[in-house]
Amino acid sequence: MATALIILAAGMGTRMNSDTPKVLHLIGGAPMLVHAMKSGAALEPARTVVVAGHGAQAVEKAAAAYDPATMIALQTEQLGTAHAVAQARQALEGFEGDAIVLYGDTPFIRPETLAAMSAARLTHDVVVLGFEAADPGRYGRLIMKADQLDRIVEFKDATSEERSVTLCNSGVIAADAATLFKLIDAVGNENAAGEYYLTDIVGIARKQGLTATVVRCDEAETLGINSRTELAGAEALFQACARATAQSDGVTLTAPETVFFAHDTVIGRDTIIEPNVVFGPGVSVESGATIRAFSHLEGCHISRGCVVGPYARLRPGAELAENVKVGNFVEIKNAQIDEGAKVNHLSYVGDADIGARANIGAGTITCNYDGVFKHKTTIGTDAFIGSNTMLVAPVSVGDAAMTGSGSVITRDVPDGDLAVARARQDNRAGFAVRLFEKLRAKKAKGA
């Protein structure tokens, strides 16, 4: 059956105390909204509608960056969750199939759970995702009658008997889209909060003779984020899952609790990750690589057999072919490093192509920026760049060419040549001894 996602993300998130809309705060380097979209993506939705309000432009941009086909529905006033869903009606015009309502601030719903809800829809008109709460607090309570979900009562409106129910509403609801909008039309706002409650559709559906049921999930999946403290808790949970997944995928983490992953990190089998490594977004590492301690990687690709770090920094566009070595205090940005090349110590390589087996000496810098434009450096295969070479881009060093240590290379170096670009050395016989004698004599006089 075709599915449409409606993701509610209009709320202000007052308790975040932030200029950034709540759903754009990051977990594993991605906005929490994107996590919700990723869960929903498992249902291969025909349409995705994000209901935005506070910070709608920024929310729209983030949603489109993940999936350009995302539609945005504006909810200018936050009158309640039913009112929010109603704003998606126009975007779903002509759509036939199921609608699933998710919250943009609830990032951990598992795709399997949504699939179970879709399956339950085959036998029930309305399906609600519920959970047994350890501390039910202010959650809406799911009131069962025989084997049917009879209604949902919000905490504020619940009797003390209803408040003693521990089966709670996660907020995720599935129903046929046309049915959903019809039910929402019947929702009023005469309740303790004066809001249009989406949860009211269950009682309304049951009174119309429709069926409703609950799919249960683990409480951890329904974790919602309202404060910075909860955000940090969600990050910790995300990292714990990512570490466990990496380990079961055959990755060695020497000290797992010190390694931080992004939402899209991909790491191959038998790769070893030493302590205190941080993966920003967009990193893939093939099998059998070693990422040594204290390295920071983002937007890069590392091939089989590479050794990176300790203390390496790989920035967006760093592309390492097989068996490349990148050592300590080396920064690489937007550069292709071909097979077996080595950049072992204290270097900056940016906007460059480095040929296979080239050796880049300690302290080499590609001077890629003239203050206005960025320029490219090309280094040939088997080239040898002497220590402390400044490569003033645009410039190229040919295959099997060399540069002398300390050179400032401003012109292209042909294949096989040695370029030396530094002052010639001048030794002055005995000069050091005479100079010292003079200086010490001056000091003795108390000058």
Residues lying near ligand UD1 in the complex (CB under 6 A): 8-11, 51, 75, 78-81, 83-84, 103-105, 139-140, 152, 154, 168-171, 197-199, 224
Nearer CB in complex with ligand UD1: 196/279: 196
Rounded to whole angstroms, the Cα distance separating 33 from 24 reads: 6
Rounded to whole angstroms, the Cα distance separating 272 from 306 reads: 11
User: What's the closest the beta carbon of residue 11 comes to ligand UD1, in angstroms?
Assistant: 2
User: What's the closest the beta carbon of residue 37 comes to ligand UD1, in angstroms?
Assistant: 13
User: What's the closest the beta carbon of residue 9 comes to ligand UD1, in angstroms?
Assistant: 6
Assigned token pair, 253: 């983490």
Taking a C-beta distance cutoff of 8 angstroms, is the pair 392, 367 a contact? yes
- Could you tell me which residues come within 8 angstroms of residue 269 by beta carbon, excluding any fewer than 6 positions away? 249, 250, 251, 287, 288
Query: What residues are labeled active site?
Result: 345
User: What's the closest the beta carbon of residue 124 comes to ligand UD1, in angstroms?
Assistant: 18
Nearer CB in complex with ligand UD1: 141/301: 141
Nearer CB in complex with ligand UD1: 224/406: 224
Phi (first) and psi of residue 194, to 5 degrees: 65, 30
Assigned token pair, 273: 């990750």
Angle between the 111-120 and 32-41 helix axes, to the nearest 10 degrees?
50
Residue owning tokens 């983490």 = 253
Question: Among residues 273, 240, 295, which one has the least CA distance to residue 27?
Answer: 240
Nearer CB in complex with ligand UD1: 3/81: 81
Nearer CB in complex with ligand UD1: 179/405: 179
For 77-145, give the secondary structure using H, E and C.
CCCCHHHHHHCCCHHHCCCCCEEEEEECCCCCCCHHHHHHHHHHCCCCCEEEEEEECCCCCCCCEEEEE
Assigned token pair, 415: 């294949």
Nearer CB in complex with ligand UD1: 199/323: 199
User: What's the closest the beta carbon of residue 385 comes to ligand UD1, in angstroms?
Assistant: 54
User: What's the closest the beta carbon of residue 191 comes to ligand UD1, in angstroms?
Assistant: 9
